[in-house]
Structure 1
Amino acid sequence: MKIEILFEDSYIIIVNKPNNVLIHNSYYARNIKDDTLLNLLKKQFGNDFYPVHRLDRKTSGVLVLSKQKEHVSVFQELFNSDTIEKTYFGIVRGFFKENVLLNSPVKNPDTKLYKEAETYCEPLQNIELKIPVHPYNNSRYSLVKLKPSTGRMHQLRIHMNKISHPIVGDYKYGDRFHNRMFENEFNCSNLFLHAFEIKFVHPFNKNVILIKASFPDNWKFIFEKFNWKVH
């Protein structure tokens, strides 16, 4: 698998992480034996890279990695100080009709402590399908834009589930009946959460970096099926 490089300079590379690829090995994913993103990049470039932030294994999209270990903390400060702008897209259950600012603490799975988390959610498009999903005779979905101002683990997935609009393909926080429908009807089992865009001021050269990641094939398939367009 060749990883798409979206940006590169002397300090960082920014990649389009595929669905279902771990960034690195971890205790929580100890049973997964596939190549990690870091392994794939090592094979592709012959160099080691150091993640500045993280994406869930099942989330695709923009990921920033440092070329030097000593620079990781410099770039991480952009995330810790909330001076970086991140934009995600998600496909969720139900009709989402108005902009919502979600302020709800999220529990860290390691420390078991709750931390404040904030997500801005904007509805873009919706659809009603004549496909029954328990307990209804039809099914409804919305395309949403998500802009987190904090970076808690599973934040977007937890926040959407809390307002009864879980992300399709989420087997931890989502709706198993809708997940199963997407599998059976569309042959899509991936999580429909994509890190689409990132924007920040480069800490070394002060340039504004704005990077967008194209959607995976399963997203393009659903966009065509639902007649949805993203600009």
Structure 2
Amino acid sequence: MSECLAPTEYGELDILYQDENFVAINKPSGLLVHRSFLDKHETQFAMQMLRDQLGQHVFPVHRLDRPTSGVLLFALSSKAARDMNQLFIEGTIAKRYLALVRGFAPDSVFLDKPLKEELDKIADKFADQNKAPQEAQTQFNCLYQAALPIPIGKYPTVRYSLVECFPKTGRKHQIRRHLKHLSLPIIGDVNHGDNQHNQFFRDHFELRRLMLFATELSFVHPYTNIAITIKAPLGHDMLQICEQLGWPNEEKDY
């Protein structure tokens, strides 16, 4: 089952930051970063769309999963891409995400749980199937909780939390898998989530996306040595859901 909506025309990309070396966009949920032979039917990709929008080549320096929205950074030259990639390798770039999860999250928890690499049956057909788990660490902080008097399954109420996520490593689906391990699956996560609650959000909130948002990317600029923080808004739909759950509906509160 797909984690995304049917093909959508995204229009012009929202540019969050730009200088002579780098540009960051607010990637919509459902948009692929670049072409993939696993998604041959797709016609829109963030990399090509941004290239056409700026009229110059762009170079990806990291990635976001297709259903995740938020800050996506590109370099404007191959050298800038190499230098920014080095910062990612060194772990000096801070990433902040927000996730809407099922259940009441603890106030704060640091999860240090190695993850075995998730391999695709087609793309990773020849990869080592017995590769040892890789180090994976994430800090989670609960911002808000809500309970609704609606029975799902054997429980008389539904409980949800908004969780701040700071991955210290960059494993595939790290935040999703770590939250699942904590019994706090992300709403809209088809592969690691709770299908009953995913269906509840589709029925009651008309929500059909993964509720994971890359809200901030912070780093020291490799050429100016200036501290940069790039932020992406949650968007009107998510703020409406926050309001219905009794949480603030202003971007400044997140």
The reply to whether TM is greater than 0.5 is yes
2:58 matched residue in structure 1: 49
CA distance in structure 2 between the partners assigned to 1:38 and 1:153 by the alignment: 20
Does residue 215 (structure 1) correspond to residue 234 (structure 2)? The answer is yes
1:182 matched residue in structure 2: 201
1:69 matched residue in structure 2: 78
How is 1:90-169 mapped onto 2 (pairs within 5 angstroms)?
Answer: 90-108=99-117, 109=119, 110=124, 111=127, 112=129, 113=131, 114-169=133-188
Q: Alpha-carbon deviations, 1:91-113, whole Å to 9, x = none?
A: 00100122100111122224553
Contact 2:146-2:246 at 8 Å conserved across structures: no
Coordinate RMSD, CA, aligned = 1.4
Contact 1:119-1:148 at 8 Å conserved across structures: yes
CA distance in structure 1 between the partners assigned to 2:165 and 2:68 by the alignment: 13
Q: Alpha-carbon deviations, 1:78-123, whole Å to 9, x = none?
A: 1111111111100001001221001111222245532101000001
Whichever residue aligns with residue 126 of structure 1, its letter is: Q
Whichever residue aligns with residue 209 of structure 2, its letter is: N
How is 1:27-42 mapped onto 2 (pairs within 5 angstroms)?
Answer: 27=37, 29-42=38-51
Shift of 1:46: 2.2
Q: Percent identity of the aligned residues?
A: 37
How is 1:12-31 mapped onto 2 (pairs within 5 angstroms)?
Answer: 12-27=22-37, 29-31=38-40
CA distance in structure 1 between the partners assigned to 2:198 and 2:41 by the alignment: 21
Q: Alpha-carbon deviations, 1:31-50, whole Å to 9, x = none?
A: 44140111221332222211
Q: Alpha-carbon deviations, 1:46-74, whole Å to 9, x = none?
A: 22211111100010111110011232121
Higher mean C-alpha deviation, range 171-180 or range 34-43: 34-43
CA distance in structure 1 between the partners assigned to 2:153 and 2:78 by the alignment: 49
Higher mean C-alpha deviation, range 34-43 or range 153-162: 34-43
CA distance in structure 2 between the partners assigned to 1:216 and 1:18 by the alignment: 10
* Gaps in structure 2 of 5+ consecutive residues: 1-10
CA distance in structure 2 between the partners assigned to 1:219 and 1:98 by the alignment: 22
CA distance in structure 2 between the partners assigned to 1:216 and 1:47 by the alignment: 28
Which among 2, 6, 9 is matched to residue 19 of structure 2?
A: 9
CA distance in structure 1 between the partners assigned to 2:99 and 2:43 by the alignment: 25
CA distance in structure 2 between the partners assigned to 1:30 and 1:3 by the alignment: 21
**Are the structure 2 counterparts of residues 32 and 55 from structure 1 closer, same or farther at C-alpha, using a change threshold of 3 Å?**
farther
1:226 matched residue in structure 2: 245
The TM-score normalised by the length of structure 2 is 0.86
The TM-score normalised by the length of structure 1 is 0.95
Q: Alpha-carbon deviations, 1:119-155, whole Å to 9, x = none?
A: 0000111000122222322210000100011111110
Whichever residue aligns with residue 30 of structure 2, its letter is: N
Q: Alpha-carbon deviations, 1:158-186, whole Å to 9, x = none?
A: 10001110110000110100000000111
* Gaps in structure 1 of 5+ consecutive residues: none
**Are the structure 2 counterparts of residues 34 and 134 from structure 1 closer, same or farther at C-alpha, using a change threshold of 3 Å?**
farther
CA distance in structure 1 between the partners assigned to 2:28 and 2:151 by the alignment: 30
Secondary structure of residue in 1 paired with 2:217: strand
